[in-house]
Structure 1
Amino acid sequence: MRVVIVGATGNAGTALLRRLRAEPDVEAIGIARRTPADSGPYADMEWHSVDIGREDSLDPLTRIFDGTDAVVNLAWQIQPSHDARRLYRTNVLGSRTVFRAALRAGVGTLVHASSVGVYAPGPKWAYVKETWLRTGVPESSYSRHKALVERMLDEIESDHPTLRVVRLRPGLIFQRDAGTEIGRYFAGPLVPARLLRFGWVPLLPANPGLRLQAVHADDVAEAYLRVLRADVRGAFNIAAGPVLDPAVLAKAFHGLPVPVPGFALEGAAALSWWLRLQPVDRGWVKLALKAPLMCCDRAVEELGWQPRMDAVAALHEVVAGLAERAGQAESPPLNAGGSQPGRLGGLLRGRLPGTGNPY
């Protein structure tokens, strides 16, 4: 089976490459804007440098996809949050180009990395299935983009019934090697990450809406492999238990939950983002407060998928990675060194959080 992975050097892509190495009948081809060094999980495979957001990327993508059994689209930009045009260019227009290239090349299976962010606001004390309304959380550009891209897939499924289209909708994806990347995109260089090596956070914001789901990257990779091997279509929710709420986090990090109203969380995020002190805008807080909890029964029943690591262990792993500046030196997105935006070296060069292209 020949599989092309678009966005193969990021968090989920790196985990998927590790998993596919154990499958002797799978040939993985990687696509990234900046290709990685030929070592580690990226070694001994075919790589192509393509910026999917460019207007001229359709033809090279079509050539790469030619003769391919499946395309897995993992490409997505979280930053720079102060450049909405760039995010739309990559996330929405770039995804459209990937889909068009897959159709032109006659690919049999198209797998897309969606998210819990595609869902409309929903319950925090019950679980929604894949049929929940997919209008996103309007205040979040990430959520709006995920909903737009899934609507494209709806049209493709309707117009091309022989194409097998699958969407995975995971919660937060954690692994140790993504610690630096996640800190860079969601915390910024001003957070004293080294203090997290003690595994203690003295004060934790508590709000009834802060109930989130997470999953380890290796378990997400297993879900992608099972999708590639099974004759399934449609969407699959992917998350591990337990739900990460203030009580669970307080126990995990030996901290004290401090009640904070939602408007205060949103206001603090909006002001600090506007001042370029951190890279997360108000929309991310709104998404965290409004995104529903997902039922993963379909993945269990139709894919035989079960997470091997629970959400708390995955969170501990990524926090340790953040504190220890873990990453993958071969991958530009996961590289822990350098002076790119979102890193301390970048800040010293005037690259403020939420600005510049960290990819």
Structure 2
Amino acid sequence: MTDVKRIVVTGATGNIGTGVVAALSADPQVETIVGLARRPAPGHSPKVRLVQADVERDDLVPLLRGADAVVHLAWLFQPTRRPERTWRANVLGSIRVFEAAAAAGVPKIVYSSSVGAYSPRETDAAVDESWPTHGWPGAAYTREKAYLERWLDAFELRSPGVDVVRIRPGFVFQRAAASEQRRLFGGPFVPGSLVRPGLVPVLPHLPGLRVQVVHTADLADAITRATLRPVTGAFNVATAPVVGTRFVAGMFGARPVPVPVPAVRAVLGAAWRLHLVPATPGLFDAVMRLPVMSTGRAEAELDWRPRHDAAETLNEFFAGLRTGAGTDTAPLAPDGRRRHELATGVGRRP
């Protein structure tokens, strides 16, 4: 792709969106960025225009018309207890974005999929982008990501004039997203202030747990490269090393204590039923089965290299948890401001 001037980014105020908008703004090829978000946010660089829009219900075609590319990042993680709600936002909303892009004559779509779209691993060997993307059926997040992979397969066949890129990242962290991610996955009873070396003497060791992470800025760099280069298809994006519970225990100077996986799932299930945590037991099952991804294609075709390794990425995130870090957008608001918004209705769309 050449002569890229105008890019529309959905979900522009979230964890990934803020990084992508910043990366695109810094690229001289890009003249204008239109960021779409459900709730208003302060302005960014002179290149950026933020528009309040909901992918579920607003007319998106006029907003996408004239764009050289659409980067689709909008995603709703909660409420996990109402999967029909996240299905409407994530699956039906995404389909509306893709169909609107085609109707508006946008030549390129870059979609942030996930490692969660992949089918469960069979071995510990790293898989490339040809690994099946059937997800794990027991979690809404993985079902939704896998469904959109199938929908895009059909979309590409009937829309040959639209180039489609699917970015499949590992777990995405940055300091500014710490408060949001604690709310989404840990809930109000998980104290971020305790996430510091020396305060946690032991950590449970879960045999078989292996996940990959990536810093928001590194993922944003990969998405920017995929948007501005003449590439299509899927790209795995993650940094090294692969993270297990022993790795995290070492970061905190804690002793890993082996714990049976069924026991951890039982505790999580009980906490879920008592409304103590928002993360579902099904999501835990999915995480335990994630494959390890090879990032060879992104390195070869995008010339992409992460600037942050896994330890740097997690240390920054944990530091953000300890201080209640956030930023000035509604999704990433620090805890104090978020409580105020929920109490007063500030930032909600009528």
| TM category, shorter | over 0.9
Report if the CA contact (8 A) 1:200-1:254 is conserved: no
Give the structure 2 partner of residue 182 of structure 1.
181
Q: 1:33 aligns with which of 21, 35, 38?
A: 38
Report if the CA contact (8 A) 1:209-1:288 is conserved: no
Report if the CA contact (8 A) 1:124-1:209 is conserved: no
TM-score (norm 2): 0.93
Give the structure 1 partner of residue 111 of structure 2.
112
Q: Residues 46-195 of structure 1 correspond to what in structure 2 (within 5 A)? A: 46-54=49-57, 57=58, 59=59, 61-123=60-122, 125-195=124-194
CA–CA distance in structure 2, aligned partners of residues 118 and 124 of structure 1: 17
3-state SS of 2:40 partner:
coil
Superimposed CA distance per residue, residues 177-217 of structure 1 (whole angstroms, 9 cap, x where no aligned partner): 00101111011111121122457532222122211000100
3-state SS of 1:112 partner:
strand
Match for 2:218: what amino acid?
D
CA 1:42–1:182 in structure 2 vs 1: closer, same or farther (change >3 Å)? farther
Match for 2:251: what amino acid?
A
How far 1:327 moved relative to its partner? 0.8
CA 1:344–1:47 in structure 2 vs 1: closer, same or farther (change >3 Å)? closer
Give the structure 2 partner of residue 332 of structure 1.
330
3-state SS of 1:130 partner:
coil
Report if the CA contact (8 A) 1:117-1:136 is conserved: yes
CA–CA distance in structure 1, aligned partners of residues 178 and 309 of structure 2: 17
Structure 2 residue 22 is the aligned partner of structure 1 residue 23: no
How far 1:151 moved relative to its partner? 1.0
How far 1:162 moved relative to its partner? 2.0
Choose 160-169 or 187-196, whichever is displaced more: 187-196
Match for 1:278: what amino acid?
V
Match for 2:163: what amino acid?
R
CA 1:326–1:2 in structure 2 vs 1: closer, same or farther (change >3 Å)? same
Give the structure 1 partner of residue 231 of structure 2.
232
CA 1:187–1:124 in structure 2 vs 1: closer, same or farther (change >3 Å)? farther
Q: What is the percentage of aligned positions where both structures have the same residue?
A: 43
Report if the CA contact (8 A) 1:123-1:293 is conserved: no
Report if the CA contact (8 A) 1:223-1:303 is conserved: yes
Give the structure 2 partner of residue 14 of structure 1.
18
CA–CA distance in structure 2, aligned partners of residues 263 and 198 of structure 1: 27
How far 1:37 moved relative to its partner? 1.8
Report if the CA contact (8 A) 1:17-1:42 is conserved: no
Number of aligned positions between the proteins = 340
Pairwise CA RMSD: 1.9
Superimposed CA distance per residue, residues 164-185 of structure 1 (whole angstroms, 9 cap, x where no aligned partner): 0000000000100001011110
CA–CA distance in structure 2, aligned partners of residues 345 and 5 of structure 1: 24
How far 1:280 moved relative to its partner? 0.5
3-state SS of 1:35 partner:
coil
Report if the CA contact (8 A) 1:178-1:327 is conserved: yes
Gaps spanning 5+ residues in structure 1: where?
Answer: 350-356
How far 1:21 moved relative to its partner? 2.1
Report if the CA contact (8 A) 1:204-1:257 is conserved: yes
CA–CA distance in structure 1, aligned partners of residues 189 and 20 of structure 2: 31
Match for 2:53: what amino acid?
V
Superimposed CA distance per residue, residues 1-38 of structure 1 (whole angstroms, 9 cap, x where no aligned partner): 20000000000101111212212331111000002123
3-state SS of 2:77 partner:
coil
Give the structure 2 partner of residue 45 of structure 1.
48
CA 1:334–1:293 in structure 2 vs 1: closer, same or farther (change >3 Å)? same
Gaps spanning 5+ residues in structure 2: where?
Answer: none
CA–CA distance in structure 2, aligned partners of residues 317 and 200 of structure 1: 17
